[in-house]
């Protein structure tokens, strides 16, 4: 019999600048911290299996960005869904948790936030692990671009937005994120896209996702972050 004890994961909420930020936390608080930043169209749910694997050695924290998962999702009229704003909220979140240093593990849009955190506070970042983080347009999946996103970047019209609403932000588009390129789809749980889509289908949330998707274009325009900015980061120990 194995004596391995699965670490307990706690599900908490912290008020940050009037927003309720949901986060998952596990591991000893006096251990080195790993900050997990999720991608589109998911939430900290994407790290549910990884967190217990890390929590025996690390203090693991995984927040949901505003507009995602269980965090507050104010309307696009009441909140600026730019990556600068998401980075500021995440910065304040880490400060309220007294995270003076952390290794960054970020994916997809989480990389747009993580790169900014590293530039804002390089002295706090002990390591950086990048999963599918695009800092330039050449890195983006061409099929993803040609199914409406590039047209939306060129012209933010209702017509081009509808193309994204009819595919990318549907259950089929969300499912595509998980199964595209998968060598064995039977190893990927349908829980992933079912839960992501349930959050996207909430009233007003697709407007949030459209805003995030459009700001991804602007993010590439200012991609000096991660390319021309030097950040000294030591290895994760």
**Rounded distance between C-alpha atoms, residue 176 and residue 180, angstroms:** 5
Any domain includes 235 = no
Is 2 a domain residue? no
Q: Using the 8-state DSSP alphabet, how is residue 16 labeled?
A: E
Note the pLDDT tens digit of each residue in 185-199. Answer: 999 999 999 999 999
3-state helix, strand and coil shares in percent for the chain, rounded to the nearest 5: 45, 15, 40
Range 61-79 average pLDDT: 98
Residue 127: inside a domain: yes
For residue 28, the domain's CATH number is: 3.40.50.1820
Counted domains in the chain: 1
Range of the domain at 144: 9-221
pTM to 2 decimal places: 0.89
> Is position 19 within any domain?
yes
Q: What is the pLDDT of residues 110-141, one digit of tens each?
A: 999 999 999 999 999 999 999 877 666 666 66
Each residue's pLDDT tens digit, 147-156: 788 899 999 9
Nearest CA among 22, 64, 27 for reference residue 46 = 64
Question: Taking 50 as the threshold, does the pLDDT of residue 231 lie above it?
Answer: no
* End-to-end Cα separation, the chain, in angstroms: 30
Q: Which residues on neighbouring strands pair with residue 62, listed in sequence order?
A: 24
The answer to whether residue 227 is domain-embedded is: no
Is 4 inside any structural domain?
no
Is the CB of residue 40 less than 8 Å from the CB of residue 212? Answer: yes
In a domain, 226, yes or no: no
């Amino acid at each position: 019999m194995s004596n391995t004890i699965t670490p307990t994961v706690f599900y908490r909420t912290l008020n940050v600048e009037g927003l309720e930020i949901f986060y998952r936390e596990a591991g000893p608080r006096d251990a080195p911290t790993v900050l997990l930043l999720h991608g589109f169209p998911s939430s900290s749910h994407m790290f549910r299996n990884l967190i217990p694997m890390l929590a025996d050695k690390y203090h693991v924290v995984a927040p949901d960005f505003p507009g995602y998962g269980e965090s507050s999702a104010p309307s696009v009229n009441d909140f600026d869904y730019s990556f600068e704003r998401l980075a500021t909220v995440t910065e304040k979140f880490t400060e309220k948790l007294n995270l003076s240093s952390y290794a960054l593990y970020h994916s997809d849009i989480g990389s747009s936030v993580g790169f900014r955190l590293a530039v804002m506070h390089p002295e706090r970042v002990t390591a950086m692990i990048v999963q599918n983080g695009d800092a330039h347009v050449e890195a983006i999946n061409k099929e993803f671009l040609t199914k409406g996103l590039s047209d939306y970047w060129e012209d933010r019209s209702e017509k081009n937005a509808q193309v994204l609403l009819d595919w990318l932000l549907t259950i089929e588009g969300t499912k595509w994120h998980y199964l595209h390129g998968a060598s064995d789809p039977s190893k990927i749980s349908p829980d992933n896209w079912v839960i992501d889509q349930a959050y996207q289908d909430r009233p007003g949330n697709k407007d949030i996702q459209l805003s995030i998707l459009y700001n991804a274009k602007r993010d590439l325009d200012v991609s000096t972050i991660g390319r021309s900015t030097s950040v000294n980061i030591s290895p994760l120990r």
